[in-house]
Structure 1
């Protein structure tokens, strides 16, 4: 699918942009519900850090494997139909996360969950890239900002429901059903993408990362490693290492997502004024410094503030790099985004389970230092990112 495959009047493009924002927000709500209830999964199945890491590996493995066929699915169904279908699968998997009778079935469901999530993610990012081109102005930062708004709202909702004593299985089932309805309705307002032409069908639906795509993919790997660690382990860190109750620890997820959302909404304006390399360098440096201070302190309030700075620091990494990937010539935006995502989701696959392994043999505090390392690498390597025209 080409970035110019979305056509419509200015009013239709604005309407489709708001619909796509709603789909990004829905993904944020679902991700927050999963992130906040990782301790619930740990407790429900009686898992240690090592076994919990296997759950995260299963989800991340499904996400990476699905990227090899994401471009083909989106090319045939269109972004909006692919997103709607994946939303149904994600909703079912989330709702069943605390219902399976065995650990083996949980692992299998997490593979399905991760697969549907990654295809959904590529679909809405492909739609966003097409709308950005069709509308003639940057919108990717704002779209990813809606993901963060959804994450903040989902985490705050989960915290409130935990305080009210609502059972965790009920919470996940309700979020799953709500998200499915949300996406099915919202996707109807998106502009349909044109079917593959003979020329576009001959282009690869998955581009093996090389050259600029490889560079972008490796930097997304660093950013997603740090981001994945925060999503999957930030609540457990506050609960286990800082000593905060789960309901209060969930506010750390909300602080992280809220700061990320705020920064993403101003990211498009910053991209118009400053070099993207400069913005990425500032992002990596801010994240590394904030995480280092947080880990050395161990104070609840410093931790919450640190989460906010980390969220702000990581906010622009993925929107900038996805936008850069979609502009690489010789392939379709869906294939390019899938290609760099295949490396980036490997960060989700390696980062969070690595934390579990280090925590199992040392401490969770030491393990979270992976965020400092990943963001430092990002800050030092951005000179290899091709600047926008």
Structure 2
């Protein structure tokens, strides 16, 4: 470990940040292609939904093994190769003209995305340990920043510059390739300790995975259902449907950039456990606030509270000894991603049985569970 510490400096930190950015940028560049595929393939919403599920299936296929792969090949090789494939599959998506061509391409894109998601977190844990100070929240902020930049640039290229989706996507792919070429050489050449190829969580990692599952479930639910909640439950105009999620996203991005400094000042436990409680309070404010200003303050509180929960727990993966680092991060990432897939569907199912108000109440209750589980994890590990 001492030898590794000497090899890690700001070049490795910035390279890891760049690949977090690439992950968010690529996922945001994919999102605008969904309506294009719907039109080009002449498919209905039911088939489109199954097509979108291929992203999740692809990611879940690689996430459980990506950590072990990084241990065997090293983070540099895995991420550099994945960066190239990310750009190529993104560009291929915009070229497909048949459903049976689209399915394997989108499965491959999801697989690469899942691999990047796991391995950059493995790299971030090792780099953070190597430089001896908190950087994990800032790393995750670069994923969010990549998402903002990717979505914003696509709108500029297509809406303001009049470029075709093909040209716009090609520019995005070139940006990914350039960043991969420039920063890939500075990634750490090793991964965590070698372990089993398939990551099945055990011990304290199970509880960390539960916190990640709830965090991503809540984030996915806010992303997909906040607009419906504002219009259907609160009776707001359709033009304001996206405002709640925009406030949530902006608060999360800002707090992640401030997260490392905050953790250093107040500690990991107050940030993670207190963040879950703040998230619960924000959801209750969204549910019961009468004034619109307080309602939007609720979305702001959810973003602030949720921002650093996952980064803090990923940092803890470097301290546990129950599982090798790579397989532990793979297991937690997989459980978190299952939360993203389950969240919107769970909200819809519960809403159909009861009401959307009750479904949001479930999110508040899960935040309390998250706080309790987080407290237990810190009691056992810190």
Q: TM-score, normalised by structure 2?
A: 0.81
Q: Which has the higher contact order (CA 8 A, sep 6+)?
A: 1
Q: Does the CA contact (< 8 Å) of 2:230 and 2:241 recur in 1? A: yes
Give the aligned partner of residue 271 of structure 2.
279
Give the aligned partner of residue 16 of structure 1.
12
Give the aligned partner of residue 208 of structure 1.
200
Q: Which moved further from structure 2: 215-224 or 262-271?
A: 262-271
Q: Partner of 2:263: helix, strand, or coil? A: helix
Give the aligned partner of residue 263 of structure 1.
255
Q: Which of 50, 53, 70 is residue 54 of structure 1 equivalent to?
A: 50
Confirm or deny that 1:339 pairs with 2:331. Answer: yes
Confirm or deny that 1:110 pairs with 2:106. Answer: yes
What pairs with 1:27-46 in structure 2 (closer than 5 Å)?
A: 27-35=23-31, 38=34, 41=37, 45=41
Confirm or deny that 1:172 pairs with 2:136. Answer: no
Residues in 1 aligned to 2:181 and 2:290: alpha-carbon distance in whole angstroms: 43
Residues in 2 aligned to 1:90 and 1:58: alpha-carbon distance in whole angstroms: 15
Q: Does the CA contact (< 8 Å) of 1:5 and 1:130 recur in 2? A: no
What pairs with 1:52-91 in structure 2 (closer than 5 Å)?
A: 52-91=48-87
The C-alpha deviation readout for 1:262-287, integer Å capped at 9, x for no partner, is 21122223323435343223323333
Q: Which moved further from structure 2: 365-374 or 170-179?
A: 365-374
Q: How many angstroms does 1:213 deviate by?
A: 0.6
Q: Which moved further from structure 2: 156-165 or 264-273?
A: 156-165
The C-alpha deviation readout for 1:341-371, integer Å capped at 9, x for no partner, is 1211211232244456678999989877775
What's the Cα RMSD here? 3.8
Q: How many angstroms does 1:118 deviate by?
A: 1.5
Q: Partner of 2:9: helix, strand, or coil? A: helix
Residues in 2 aligned to 1:65 and 1:312: alpha-carbon distance in whole angstroms: 31
Residues in 1 aligned to 2:54 and 2:100: alpha-carbon distance in whole angstroms: 11
Q: Does the CA contact (< 8 Å) of 1:140 and 1:323 recur in 2? A: yes
Q: Does the CA contact (< 8 Å) of 1:159 and 1:251 recur in 2? A: no
Q: Does the CA contact (< 8 Å) of 1:256 and 1:307 recur in 2? A: yes
Q: How many angstroms does 1:228 deviate by?
A: 3.2
Q: Does the CA contact (< 8 Å) of 2:273 and 2:374 recur in 1? A: yes
Q: Which moved further from structure 2: 126-135 or 360-369?
A: 360-369
The C-alpha deviation readout for 1:4-51, integer Å capped at 9, x for no partner, is 784435xx5111101111111121222223345555555655666544
Give the aligned partner of residue 340 of structure 2.
348
Q: Which of 303, 306, 314 is residue 311 of structure 1 equivalent to?
A: 303
Structure 2 unmatched ranges of 5 or more = none
Confirm or deny that 1:132 pairs with 2:117. Answer: no
Residues in 2 aligned to 1:118 and 1:100: alpha-carbon distance in whole angstroms: 22
Residues in 2 aligned to 1:294 and 1:38: alpha-carbon distance in whole angstroms: 30
Residues in 1 aligned to 2:348 and 2:44: alpha-carbon distance in whole angstroms: 9
Cα pair distance change 1:237/1:181, threshold 3 Å: farther
Cα pair distance change 1:118/1:252, threshold 3 Å: same
Residues in 2 aligned to 1:107 and 1:308: alpha-carbon distance in whole angstroms: 37
Q: Does the CA contact (< 8 Å) of 2:208 and 2:374 recur in 1? A: no
Q: How many angstroms does 1:319 deviate by?
A: 0.5
Residues in 2 aligned to 1:189 and 1:98: alpha-carbon distance in whole angstroms: 31
Q: Which of 89, 100, 120 is residue 96 of structure 2 equivalent to?
A: 100
Q: Does the CA contact (< 8 Å) of 2:273 and 2:371 recur in 1? A: yes
Q: Partner of 1:31: helix, strand, or coil? A: helix
